[in-house]
Amino acid sequence: MHRVLHLSDTHVSRTGPDEDGVDGLAALKQLLYDVRHVPSVDLVVVSGDIADDGSREGCQAVCSVVGSFAAERGIPQIYSTGNHDRREGFEAALGWGHLGPDGTPIGRRAEVDDVIAAVSEVNGLRVITLDSLVPGETHGVLGRDQLDWLTTELATPAPAGSIVVLHHPPIFVDAIPYLESVVLQEPAALGDVLAGTDVHAVLCGHLHHQLSGTIGQKPVWVTPGVITRIDLTAPSALVRGVLGASATVVDLGGPFSPTFHTLHSRDPHAGSEVYVYNPITGEDTTESA
Ligand SMILES: [Fe+2]
């Protein structure tokens, strides 16, 4: 059995709050305090948008909080890039994103130009992070070089199988049309690489709401955001972000695995509106919603 605590989208900036004025670091601290009773966590994964402004300082602030949680438990902390991250800031704070309990690098970085992909092994479980960041864009892309590297890594099974972590989901909800343009582009190419391998699950963020699906016959899980959650009860033309940090516990190797269950921060302001906008027209209706 392996248990992963899956976080995403902390969006901490150099000065603290994100562009909407929300304090992601406070949300992260509250969440990690509230999940302190979850037993037997083997590793913490943060699947991108670590820093809202791409800064080294934002990444460092997140790493100091997640790192304390990891150090107390003697477990690794593993990060992937998101669309808000910048590779320079990410690398300066987190290296290739695979850190041991004491914050020192573990595993190895992919020898692929211009991306921060990496692999490490945690008690026999292989953890692969991919870099789907396209600078200045919201959507994600995995280049041929990175997919070829992934193919090579997965050619040999790991003792306890593998998980793949990337920011942009290779799935979306058909009923929400704008999502297709912001998720991983050409997802079938990733599916082709994953099919028939020892990958248990693909862990993603980006959408700020929970979602499951499959790619290449592999389960895909999208964990809700730490800083905000997208409230899908909004009219379908609108995106409504609300407070309420969440995390996912991913259990691997059990009789029904992979299982994913979400935990919600005990935030008295959970559900409070942060923003409402129309992603097609760009109209911001936060004040009037
Ligand atoms: Fe995000």
pLDDT the model gives residue 236: 81
Residues with CB under 5 A from ligand 1 (ion): 9, 49
Does residue 257 sit within a domain? yes
Residue 254 C-alpha to ligand 1 middle, in angstroms? 30
104-140 burial, b at 16+ Cβ within 10 Å, e below that, comes to: eebbebbebeebbbbbbbbeebbbbbbbbbeeeeeeb
Does residue 284 sit within a domain? no
- Hey, what are 132's tokens? 């789907």
- CA distances 285 to 9, 197, 240, Å, are 23, 46, 10
| Contact call for residues 50 and 62 (beta carbons, < 8 A) | yes
pLDDT the model gives residue 60: 98
Domain range spanning residue 183? 2-277
Q: How many domains does the chain have?
A: 1
Residue 52 C-alpha to ligand 1 middle, in angstroms? 8
From first to last of the 289 residues of the chain, give the pLDDT tens digit.
Answer: 999 999 999 999 999 999 889 999 999 999 999 999 999 999 999 999 999 999 999 999 999 999 999 999 999 999 999 999 999 999 999 999 999 999 999 999 999 999 999 999 999 999 999 999 999 999 999 999 999 999 999 999 999 999 999 999 999 988 777 889 999 999 999 999 999 999 999 999 999 999 999 999 999 999 999 999 999 899 888 899 999 999 999 999 999 999 999 999 999 999 999 999 998 888 988 865 4
Does residue 288 sit within a domain? no
Residue 135 C-alpha to ligand 1 middle, in angstroms? 14
Does residue 259 sit within a domain? yes
pLDDT the model gives residue 177: 73
Residue 6 C-alpha to ligand 1 middle, in angstroms? 14
Does residue 286 sit within a domain? no
Does residue 34 sit within a domain? yes
Q: Which CATH number is 269's domain given? A: 3.60.21.10
Residue 208 C-alpha to ligand 1 middle, in angstroms? 6
Does residue 217 sit within a domain? yes
Residue 217 C-alpha to ligand 1 middle, in angstroms? 26
Does residue 289 sit within a domain? no
Using only C-alpha atoms, the chain has a radius of gyration, in whole angstroms, of: 17
- Of the candidates 263, 239, 236, which has an alpha carbon nearest to the alpha carbon of residue 251? 263
At residue 71, φ and ψ (nearest 5 deg) are: -65, -40
- CA distances 188 to 24, 78, 129, 133, 258, Å, are 33, 25, 18, 18, 21
pTM above 0.95, yes or no: yes
